[in-house]
């Protein structure tokens, strides 16, 4: 498997979570999302209200922008379990 495929398989689920969070105001029912065979979805980071967009930094930090309040959050997985265990507010308008 090529590196680009591995990266895409890691980033695609996060995109679905952020996109779904934009549509749904309540908690995500991850177990009710119908995914194609071979795909899985897990929550990477929680507690970021109105998450709207995201970008992966070159060192693996996920930057999440919010919809209405102009905040940028930085989330990272420091222990390698594919879940953010460190989340900080990095910018606020």
Q: What is the pTM of this model?
A: 0.61
Each residue of 51-77: pLDDT tens digit?
889 999 888 899 999 888 889 999 999
At residue 52, the 3 state secondary structure works out as: strand
pLDDT band at 25 (very low <50, low <70, confident <90, very high): very low
Selection from 73, 34, 41, 39 nearest residue 54 by Cα: 73
Decide if pLDDT at 22 tops 60.
Answer: no
The residue segments making up the domain with residue 30 are 3-92
Number of structural domains (the chain) is: 1
Residue with the bigger pLDDT between 3 and 87: it is 87
pLDDT at 77: 93
Quick count: other Cβ atoms within 10 Å of Cβ 11?
15
């Amino acid at each position: 498997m090529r590196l680009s495929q591995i990266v895409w398989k890691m980033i695609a689920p996060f995109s679905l979570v952020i996109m779904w969070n934009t549509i749904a105001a309540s908690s995500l029912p991850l177990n009710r999302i119908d995914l194609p065979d071979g795909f899985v979805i897990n929550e990477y980071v929680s507690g970021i209200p109105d998450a709207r967009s995201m970008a992966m930094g070159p060192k693996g930090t996920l930057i999440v922008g919010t919809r209405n309040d102009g905040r940028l959050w930085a989330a990272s997985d420091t222990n390698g379990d594919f879940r953010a265990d460190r989340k900080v507010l990095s910018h606020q308008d």
